[in-house]
Structure 1
Amino acid sequence: LTGATSLLYDGNPGFPDMDVVWKFAEKSKMTIFGTSAAYLSTCMNSRMEPGRDYDLTRLREVGSTGSPLSPEGFRWVYDKVNHDVLLGSVSGGTDPCSAFVGCCPILPVKAGELQCRCLGVNAQAFDPQGNILTDQVGELVITDPMPSMPLYLWNDTADKRYQESYFDMYPGNWRHGDWVKFTPEGGGIILGRSDSTINRFGVRMGSSEIYAAVEELPEVADSLVIGYTVNKEDYHMPLFVVLAPGLSLDAILKQKINQKIRNALSPRHVPDEIYAIDEVPTTLNGKKLEVPVKKVLSGIPLEDAVNLDSMSNPQAMDYFVALAEKDRYNML
């Protein structure tokens, strides 16, 4: 853009502490701050108040992407960062190299909601039969071509993986693999990956609502929940938590986590087991890798479950590989 200067931070945004990027924002006097929902959520869960500790009065916009930003995350930005900014949550895809649903400076900001479809994007929510839904949760589908959509994938013989990934469910329409709800006003609410949906006792539930409940607890810094089938019959739903520094996962804390989930959601959402982990596996832009973890725990080899080069912390998968091997040994 004419007259604009790009500011890039090269390094770990959590080293030496979570303040490093906010210090950068103050020092550079930036007006637009683009980050990830994971980073904002981590700052929120760490009880940070950047607007109090740093001069962020020049900020006009905060952009968030990578994963859905919770309503609590929206409120934290306005309460603890700057009350007079445009908070723009954006959702798109790596393969299409573009955003689908995003922000608009002339529309109201609603907590947990993306303001509108991006220009030129015919994004819809489809039911299983391919009917358009409004104010109901459905598959995020792009019904018209976009200039940035890929025509093929590298090393994909006869376009097999390309077709299976995006066009199998709704021929001729790009199914992205996210749950979305479009409001009557045109806003969008992203509810997580549809291919990682948890189906507990016949009830389908999104992982984002479990994260919102669990990560409200001060003892929990981050979390990951998945559901998968064991022995082709039994459905297993474990919860993995990253605890605040200095804490350990004992029976009392497990009970507190389960009670929080039961009260905020329902008894059906309570996990079968809770495990403490060092870190949640994420993509380079901070998105939780639910599907690869699900594949590994289901017995799929690591190299077939995830591209480690696309991860910000590939070593985080080691825990789940070891857990899968342990589970297979116990079943012998």
Structure 2
Amino acid sequence: MILTTTVLPPTIQAEIYNIIEANFPQVADSICVGQRRPTDADEKVLLFLLMKPGQLFTPELVQEVKTAIQKGLSQRHVPRYVFETPEIPTTVNLKKVELPVKQIVSGKVIRPSGTLLNPGCLDFYYQFAKVEELVGPKSKL
């Protein structure tokens, strides 16, 4: 369940986004990033889902998302972790921005670019630099 490439290719990110968009109408948007901290041997993939108003993020949804990605791509592309997010960072042109999230979840403290529409939303992602503390050793979320 861990994507063990050195870098999460943009084409894989796009394919994951396409699977989410095509199969999960309850999801408003998503952001998929690789996490590789200095102590990590391999890159882990984290997927964050922004739910539409009134829609619930559930363990069943997480499993359905992982299954859809496995069927649409392969087991190798299934994100290690799937979380709900309250907001996805975008540019002023509403393009989602993965790089600052990748840097943050990989343990870096960053200074947001002036091109971000919602730089404050990046604060949410800092907790995932220590993702194992959030999910515990036996969780599959």
Report TM bin, short chain.
0.7 to 0.9
Alignment partner, residue 235 of structure 1? 43
Q: Which residue of 1 aligns with 2:139?
A: none
Render the CA deviation track for 1:230-251: whole Å, top value 9, x for unaligned: 3141321110000121122211
Match for residue 120 of structure 2 among 315, 322, 331: 315
Report the alpha carbon displacement of residue 328 of structure 1 after superposing the two structures with TM: 7.8
1:200 equivalent in structure 2: 3
Deviation at 1:229, TM superposition (A): 1.3
Tell whether the 8 Å contact from 2:90 to 2:96 is kept in structure 1 after alignment. Answer: yes
The one of 18, 22, 25 equivalent to 1:212 is 18
Structure 1 pair 241/202, CA: closer, same or farther in 2 (3 Å)? same
Task: Look up the match of 2:95.
Answer: 287
Number of the residue aligned with 1:131: none
2:107 is aligned with 1:302: no
Q: Distance in 1 between matches of 2:73 and 2:131?
A: 32
Give unmatched runs, 5+ long, in structure 2. 134-141
Q: In structure 2, what residue type is equivalent to 1:226?
A: V
Contact 1:239/1:273, CA 8 A, preserved across alignment? yes
Deviations 1:177-227 (A, max 9, x none): xxxxxxxxxxxxxxxxxxxxxx93348642111101112211211000011
What residue identity is the alignment partner of 2:100? P
Instruction: Answer whether contact 1:213 1:260 (CA < 8 A) is retained.
Output: yes
Aligned residues: 127
The 1:328/1:212 distance shift into structure 2, 3 A limit, reads closer
TM-score (norm 1): 0.36
Return closer, same or farther for 1:246/1:266 CA change in 2, 3 Å cut-off. Answer: same
**What is the distance in 1 between the residues matched to 2:131 and 2:75?**
28
Task: Please give the alpha-carbon distance, in whole angstroms, between the structure 1 residues aligned to 2:5 and 2:92.
Answer: 34
Q: Secondary structure at the match of 1:221?
A: strand
User: 1:264 and 1:232 mapped to 2: Cα distance?
Assistant: 27
Of the candidates 59, 64, 67, which is equivalent to residue 259 of structure 1?
Answer: 67
**Residue pairs, 1:88-237, within 5 angstroms:** 200-202=3-5, 205=9, 206=11, 207-216=13-22, 217-230=24-37, 231-237=39-45
Task: Give the counterpart letter for 2:127 in structure 1.
Answer: A
Aligned mates of 1:322, 1:232 — CA distance in 2? 17
Pair 264,329 (structure 1): closer, same or farther in 2 beyond 3 Å: closer
Cα distance change, pair 267–329 in 1 and its aligned pair in 2 (3 A): closer
Q: Distance in 1 between matches of 2:5 and 2:78?
A: 14
Which letter does structure 2 place at the counterpart of 1:200?
A: L
| Aligned-pair CA distance for 1:329 | 9.1
Aligned AA (1:301): V
Q: Distance in 2 between matches of 1:245 and 1:315?
A: 20
Task: Determine if contact 1:302/1:321 at 8 Å carries over to the other structure.
Answer: no
Give the secondary-structure state (helix, strand or coil) at the position aligned to 1:225. strand
CA-CA distance at 1:302 after TM superposition: 2.2
What is the SS of the residue equivalent to 2:14?
helix
Identical residues among aligned pairs (%): 32
TM-score by length of 2: 0.79
CA 211–328 in structure 1, closer or farther in 2 if over 3 Å, else same? closer
